[in-house]
Chains A and B, each alone.
Chain A
Protein backbone atom coordinates (compact mmCIF):
# COMPACT_ATOMS: atom_id res chain seq x y z
CA UNK A 1 0.00 0.00 0.00
CA UNK A 2 1.69 3.18 -1.22
CA UNK A 3 -0.90 5.70 -0.07
CA UNK A 4 -1.19 7.05 -3.62
CA UNK A 5 -4.63 6.81 -5.20
CA UNK A 6 -5.72 7.58 -8.73
CA UNK A 7 -9.10 8.16 -10.29
CA UNK A 8 -10.80 6.98 -12.30
CA UNK A 9 -9.44 3.45 -12.66
CA UNK A 10 -10.64 3.15 -16.24
CA UNK A 11 -11.81 5.67 -18.80
CA UNK A 12 -12.99 5.58 -22.41
CA UNK A 13 -12.83 8.70 -24.58
CA UNK A 14 -13.06 9.47 -28.26
CA UNK A 15 -10.45 11.10 -30.44
CA UNK A 16 -10.36 14.89 -30.08
CA UNK A 17 -11.86 14.94 -26.59
CA UNK A 18 -10.16 16.21 -23.48
CA UNK A 19 -9.50 14.20 -20.32
CA UNK A 20 -8.51 14.95 -16.72
CA UNK A 21 -6.91 12.29 -14.56
CA UNK A 22 -6.49 12.71 -10.82
CA UNK A 23 -3.95 11.62 -8.26
CA UNK A 24 -3.96 11.95 -4.49
CA UNK A 25 -0.84 11.38 -2.41
CA UNK A 26 0.13 11.51 1.22
CA UNK A 27 0.80 14.55 3.33
CA UNK A 28 4.39 15.73 2.93
CA UNK A 29 4.79 14.37 -0.58
CA UNK A 30 5.71 17.61 -2.30
CA UNK A 31 6.88 16.13 -5.57
CA UNK A 32 4.60 14.35 -8.02
CA UNK A 33 5.47 12.84 -11.38
CA UNK A 34 3.25 11.51 -14.14
CA UNK A 35 4.09 8.65 -16.51
CA UNK A 36 2.50 7.10 -19.58
CA UNK A 37 2.80 3.34 -19.91
CA UNK A 38 1.71 1.92 -23.25
CA UNK A 39 0.81 -1.75 -23.44
CA UNK A 40 3.93 -3.89 -23.25
CA UNK A 41 6.20 -0.92 -22.61
CA UNK A 42 7.86 0.63 -19.61
CA UNK A 43 6.62 3.88 -18.10
CA UNK A 44 7.59 7.06 -19.97
CA UNK A 45 8.14 10.21 -17.95
CA UNK A 46 5.68 12.98 -18.81
CA UNK A 47 6.49 15.69 -16.25
CA UNK A 48 7.17 16.43 -12.62
CA UNK A 49 5.76 19.04 -10.26
CA UNK A 50 7.29 20.36 -7.06
CA UNK A 51 5.33 22.72 -4.86
CA UNK A 52 2.85 23.41 -7.64
CA UNK A 53 5.47 24.30 -10.27
CA UNK A 54 6.53 22.11 -13.18
CA UNK A 55 10.25 21.37 -12.79
CA UNK A 56 10.95 18.65 -15.34
CA UNK A 57 9.35 17.45 -18.55
CA UNK A 58 9.81 14.50 -20.86
CA UNK A 59 9.27 14.36 -24.59
CA UNK A 60 5.53 15.04 -24.59
CA UNK A 61 3.68 17.80 -26.49
CA UNK A 62 2.08 20.80 -24.75
CA UNK A 63 -1.39 19.24 -24.98
CA UNK A 64 -0.24 17.22 -21.95
CA UNK A 65 -0.47 19.57 -18.99
CA UNK A 66 -0.70 19.28 -15.25
CA UNK A 67 -1.59 20.90 -12.00
CA UNK A 68 -0.51 20.27 -8.45
CA UNK A 69 -2.55 21.50 -5.48
CA UNK A 70 -1.57 22.40 -1.90
CA UNK A 71 -3.56 19.43 -0.56
CA UNK A 72 -1.12 16.94 -2.20
CA UNK A 73 -3.45 16.15 -5.07
CA UNK A 74 -2.62 16.64 -8.72
CA UNK A 75 -4.14 16.40 -12.18
CA UNK A 76 -2.98 15.37 -15.61
CA UNK A 77 -4.89 16.99 -18.47
CA UNK A 78 -4.68 15.82 -22.04
CA UNK A 79 -6.30 17.86 -24.81
CA UNK A 80 -7.16 16.80 -28.35
CA UNK A 81 -6.88 13.11 -27.56
CA UNK A 82 -5.27 10.85 -30.14
CA UNK A 83 -5.56 7.09 -30.52
CA UNK A 84 -1.93 6.69 -29.41
CA UNK A 85 -2.78 8.29 -26.07
CA UNK A 86 -4.39 5.00 -25.07
CA UNK A 87 -2.26 3.80 -22.18
CA UNK A 88 -1.97 3.33 -18.44
CA UNK A 89 -1.23 6.66 -16.75
CA UNK A 90 0.71 6.48 -13.51
CA UNK A 91 1.38 9.11 -10.94
CA UNK A 92 4.14 8.85 -8.39
CA UNK A 93 4.79 11.02 -5.37
CA UNK A 94 7.91 11.57 -3.33
CA UNK A 95 8.20 12.62 0.28
CA UNK A 96 10.22 15.74 0.96
CA UNK A 97 13.74 14.94 2.11
CA UNK A 98 14.06 11.58 0.36
CA UNK A 99 16.30 10.68 -2.55
CA UNK A 100 14.87 11.41 -5.96
CA UNK A 101 14.16 7.82 -6.94
CA UNK A 102 12.11 7.19 -3.80
CA UNK A 103 8.77 7.40 -5.55
CA UNK A 104 5.47 5.91 -4.45
CA UNK A 105 3.43 4.89 -7.46
CA UNK A 106 -0.32 4.76 -7.71
CA UNK A 107 -2.15 1.88 -9.40
CA UNK A 108 -2.80 3.92 -12.54
CA UNK A 109 -5.68 5.02 -14.72
CA UNK A 110 -6.22 3.04 -17.89
CA UNK A 111 -7.32 5.32 -20.73
CA UNK A 112 -8.75 4.02 -23.97
CA UNK A 113 -9.17 6.44 -26.87
CA UNK A 114 -11.51 5.31 -29.63
Chain B
Protein backbone atom coordinates (compact mmCIF):
# COMPACT_ATOMS: atom_id res chain seq x y z
CA UNK B 1 0.00 0.00 0.00
CA UNK B 2 0.87 3.67 -0.05
CA UNK B 3 3.04 5.20 2.66
CA UNK B 4 4.83 8.46 3.40
CA UNK B 5 7.89 8.87 5.60
CA UNK B 6 8.92 12.26 6.96
CA UNK B 7 11.92 13.28 8.98
CA UNK B 8 11.26 13.46 12.67
CA UNK B 9 11.01 16.82 14.33
CA UNK B 10 11.08 19.21 15.82
CA UNK B 11 13.26 21.11 13.42
CA UNK B 12 14.55 24.22 15.17
CA UNK B 13 16.05 27.05 13.13
CA UNK B 14 16.97 30.69 13.48
CA UNK B 15 15.21 33.26 11.35
CA UNK B 16 16.61 33.50 7.77
CA UNK B 17 18.10 29.99 7.92
CA UNK B 18 17.66 27.49 5.09
CA UNK B 19 15.01 24.83 5.61
CA UNK B 20 14.81 21.28 4.33
CA UNK B 21 12.19 18.80 5.50
CA UNK B 22 12.71 15.38 3.97
CA UNK B 23 9.85 13.29 2.63
CA UNK B 24 9.99 9.94 0.85
CA UNK B 25 7.11 7.83 -0.33
CA UNK B 26 6.05 4.37 -1.44
CA UNK B 27 3.22 4.08 -3.91
CA UNK B 28 2.09 2.17 -6.94
CA UNK B 29 1.76 3.99 -10.21
CA UNK B 30 2.21 7.73 -10.45
CA UNK B 31 0.84 9.46 -7.37
CA UNK B 32 0.33 13.16 -6.87
CA UNK B 33 2.36 14.65 -4.02
CA UNK B 34 1.45 17.40 -1.58
CA UNK B 35 2.67 19.41 1.35
CA UNK B 36 0.14 20.63 3.89
CA UNK B 37 0.80 23.06 6.74
CA UNK B 38 -0.93 23.37 10.09
CA UNK B 39 -0.32 26.66 11.88
CA UNK B 40 -0.92 26.76 15.65
CA UNK B 41 -4.63 26.74 16.41
CA UNK B 42 -5.66 26.40 12.75
CA UNK B 43 -6.78 23.62 10.40
CA UNK B 44 -4.54 22.02 7.82
CA UNK B 45 -4.15 23.85 4.57
CA UNK B 46 -2.61 22.85 1.28
CA UNK B 47 0.80 24.49 0.82
CA UNK B 48 1.89 23.14 -2.55
CA UNK B 49 1.54 20.18 -4.88
CA UNK B 50 3.16 18.35 -7.79
CA UNK B 51 1.32 15.93 -10.01
CA UNK B 52 4.05 14.36 -12.13
CA UNK B 53 7.74 13.54 -12.10
CA UNK B 54 10.12 16.54 -12.16
CA UNK B 55 7.27 18.97 -11.41
CA UNK B 56 8.16 21.65 -8.89
CA UNK B 57 5.43 22.91 -6.56
CA UNK B 58 5.92 26.31 -4.95
CA UNK B 59 4.04 28.68 -2.67
CA UNK B 60 4.95 31.35 -0.10
CA UNK B 61 8.66 30.85 -0.77
CA UNK B 62 8.47 27.08 -0.19
CA UNK B 63 9.40 24.64 -2.96
CA UNK B 64 9.37 20.88 -3.46
CA UNK B 65 10.36 18.85 -6.53
CA UNK B 66 8.77 15.50 -7.43
CA UNK B 67 11.71 13.10 -7.76
CA UNK B 68 10.49 9.76 -9.04
CA UNK B 69 13.95 8.20 -9.20
CA UNK B 70 14.46 8.74 -5.46
CA UNK B 71 10.74 8.65 -4.54
CA UNK B 72 11.16 11.92 -2.69
CA UNK B 73 9.41 15.26 -2.33
CA UNK B 74 11.58 17.30 0.03
CA UNK B 75 10.29 20.68 1.20
CA UNK B 76 12.72 23.62 1.05
CA UNK B 77 12.73 27.31 1.83
CA UNK B 78 15.68 29.61 1.42
CA UNK B 79 15.02 31.91 4.37
CA UNK B 80 12.53 30.99 7.07
CA UNK B 81 10.58 33.43 9.18
CA UNK B 82 9.15 33.13 12.67
CA UNK B 83 5.69 33.02 11.07
CA UNK B 84 6.65 29.76 9.30
CA UNK B 85 6.57 27.95 12.65
CA UNK B 86 4.02 25.19 12.12
CA UNK B 87 3.62 21.46 11.53
CA UNK B 88 4.25 20.35 7.95
CA UNK B 89 2.68 17.20 6.50
CA UNK B 90 3.77 15.44 3.35
CA UNK B 91 1.02 13.51 1.56
CA UNK B 92 0.30 11.56 -1.59
CA UNK B 93 -2.73 10.45 -3.52
CA UNK B 94 -2.84 7.75 -6.14
CA UNK B 95 -3.85 8.87 -9.59
CA UNK B 96 -7.40 8.30 -10.78
CA UNK B 97 -10.58 7.76 -8.81
CA UNK B 98 -11.45 9.55 -5.59
CA UNK B 99 -8.93 11.65 -3.72
CA UNK B 100 -7.84 9.43 -0.85
CA UNK B 101 -4.68 10.95 0.61
CA UNK B 102 -2.02 9.21 2.65
CA UNK B 103 -0.29 11.55 5.08
CA UNK B 104 3.08 11.40 6.78
CA UNK B 105 3.38 11.88 10.52
CA UNK B 106 4.18 15.57 10.28
CA UNK B 107 7.31 17.56 11.09
CA UNK B 108 7.18 20.41 13.56
CA UNK B 109 9.18 23.50 12.59
CA UNK B 110 10.15 26.05 15.23
CA UNK B 111 11.78 29.26 14.03
CA UNK B 112 13.45 31.53 16.60
CA UNK B 113 13.97 35.28 16.04
Binding site for B on A (CB under 8 A): 2, 4, 33, 40-45, 48, 55-56, 58, 90, 92, 100-108
Q: Mark B66-79, 1 if CB is under 8 A from A, else 0.
A: 00000000000000
Q: Give the A-binding residues of B (Cβ under 8 A).
A: 4, 32, 34, 41-46, 49, 89, 91, 93, 97-106
B45→A41 contact, CB < 8 A: no
Instruction: Tell me the complex Cα distance, A102–B44, Å.
Output: 11
The reply to whether A101 and B49 contact each other, CB–CB distance below 8 Å, is yes
| Chain A-chain B contacts (Cβ-Cβ < 8 Å), number | 60
16 CB < 8 A contacts A-B: A2-B43, A41-B105, A41-B106, A43-B89, A43-B101, A44-B103, A56-B98, A56-B100, A90-B44, A92-B44, A100-B93, A104-B43, A105-B43, A107-B41, A107-B42, A107-B43
Contact call A100/B105, Cβ cutoff below 8 A: no
B43, B46, B98, most chain A CB atoms within 10 A: B43
